[in-house]
Amino acid sequence: MRLDPRSVVYRTARATVRFLWAIVILVVSSQFDDGRGGLLVGGVALLLVAVALYQVAYYRRFEYDLTEDTFDIRSGVVSRRDREIPLRRVQNVDVGRNVLQQVLGIAEVRLETAGGDETEAVLRCVSAAEATRLQDEISRLKRGERARAGATADRDAETVFAITIRELFLLGVVSLDLRLVPVFSVVAGVLVPSLAADASPFDPFGPIAGSMAASPLVAISVSTVALYAVAAAASGLIAATNYYGFRLTRGPDELRYERGLLQRYTGTIPLSKVQTLTIGENALARLGGYASLAVETAGYAPGDGDGSQSAIPFADRERVWSLVRSVEDVGEVTFERPPKRARTRYAVRYLLLVLGLTAGFYALTRLDGIDGRWWATLALLPVALAAAHLKWRSRGYAVDDGHVVTRNGFLVRTTRIVPYHRVQTVLTSQTVFQRRRDLATLVVDTAGSRSLTGGGVRAVDVDAGTAERLRDDVEARLYWSLAARREQRRRERESALSDEDWSPSPA
């Protein structure tokens, strides 16, 4: 089978945008050299023609085929490449459609496999109907079913969550992507000096700008508040756009989601490949009793470098835990907090930070021509003590019969749940400062990519002796869980064979 013919138009437009900077330079430079202007314009035209011809050749040389056991791809314009992807290794089949793809009626299909740090195969692009068909067929074949002619969707899929307009609005309100702060800080570095220079007595913002220019403390405080306000507004808009129309359905052995306004995504989350369940609650969402749920699989997740997909972007905490318990049999969780000497460690760290900030402001006020209330930052000392206590209260761990559960973070609290049979390694680590207070961190690693980047299941600042006992306990439970699962699978196979061999005796 081939890609959709409309993919030639899309890929040509996409490649042209990549060369846009070179095209602009050529066109602009041609205005200053009348003798070579025609040649430059002709070169641009030849470049565009070459791009289009290459995309036509790519389309004609790209073929794929879905068999009962493999997904085969043959591609390459100059050098050929043949790939056979076993369906048993496929973790996720995800479909994305940006604005241009939606206009053209095409979609991009990505196949994610276990153990890879990048997408195994990408189809750019097939028709929207073909993308849906591939998702459904691969899901059925992985379940051991034969493809049904003309079927485009699993009829037994059940809608388990659909985001409402109210939840989408609240998601936008509580979302704050701190990665946007450095971006807007660059903009602020240009605008704030200009605002201070142009301040006038009749300008309502003039006094503020003048105060910012006169006092470094005021300038830093106002700029910080403004940066976070702008970043919060932008984060809310991005979150609402990404999760517009979010809908989660459940089939026989997988979850399927669809979301997005400008960029439309649909994807599958195989329940048999779940590594970790992560419940996220930032401070604002927690006050309103809301949370989110992300499911981590062993494959690499498209559009999300940490290998997880949102199962519920924003909902009532009870609804989130209800879905968690439908995926994993998790009971009521009672967390064990770190010892109180860990709280002392946090308090000392934050107090030193405030004192260092105060010393820095004092050094600034000693410079010629700069004045300010450098001692005002000492008001943060009680805040530092409160922050240390809240951080200590927000951390904890729990070990039950089937899972390891950890909790970390106050501003953004994350609760991570991993079943024992998904554990790859268990280890303890100690920093220099932890050793001074006889503390350690228990790390429970899974096959998910999140764990490989240092964000997996971690019980932080546990008593060192307790951490060692927990490591031995989790390892023992891991072996017991694997043995129990092997025994269960053996019984299921024997039961299936006995059902096949059994036949009613003649009357």
Alpha carbons 482 and 193: distance in angstroms, whole number? 63
When pLDDT is averaged across residues 234-243 and rounded to a whole number, the result is 88
Residue with tokens 């450095």: 182
**Average pLDDT of the segment spanning 112-120:** 71
DSSP state of 379: G
**What is the per-residue pLDDT across 435-492, written as a single tens digit (0 to 9) for each?**
999 999 999 988 765 554 555 689 999 999 999 999 999 999 988 988 888 888 788 7
State the helix-helix crossing angle for 216-242 and 340-365, rounded to 10 degrees.
130
Q: State the number of CA atoms in the 13 A half-sphere of 117 facing the CB.
A: 4
Instruction: Please give the pLDDT value at position 487.
Output: 85
Report pLDDT digits (tens) over 69-93.
999 999 988 888 999 999 888 888 8
- Tell me the average pLDDT across 366-386: 81
Q: How confident is the model at residue 271 (pLDDT cuts 50, 70, 90)?
A: confident
Q: What is the mean pLDDT of residues 169-183?
A: 79
Read off the amino acid at residue 421: H
Query: Would you list the DSSP string of 17-50?
Result: HHTHHHHHHHHHHHTT-TTTHHHHHHHHHHHHHH
Element (H, E) at 353: helix 340-365
pLDDT band at residue 116 under the 50/70/90 scheme: low
> In residues, how long is the chain?
507
Q: How far apart are CA 238 and CA 101, in angstroms?
A: 20
The model's pTM is 0.78
Task: Note the pLDDT of residue 117.
Answer: 58
Q: How confident is the model at residue 191 (pLDDT cuts 50, 70, 90)?
A: low
* pLDDT tens track for 417-429: 999 999 988 999 9
Q: Angle between the 206-214 and 216-242 helix axes, to the nearest 10 degrees?
A: 120
3-state helix, strand, coil in the chain (%, to 5): 50, 25, 25
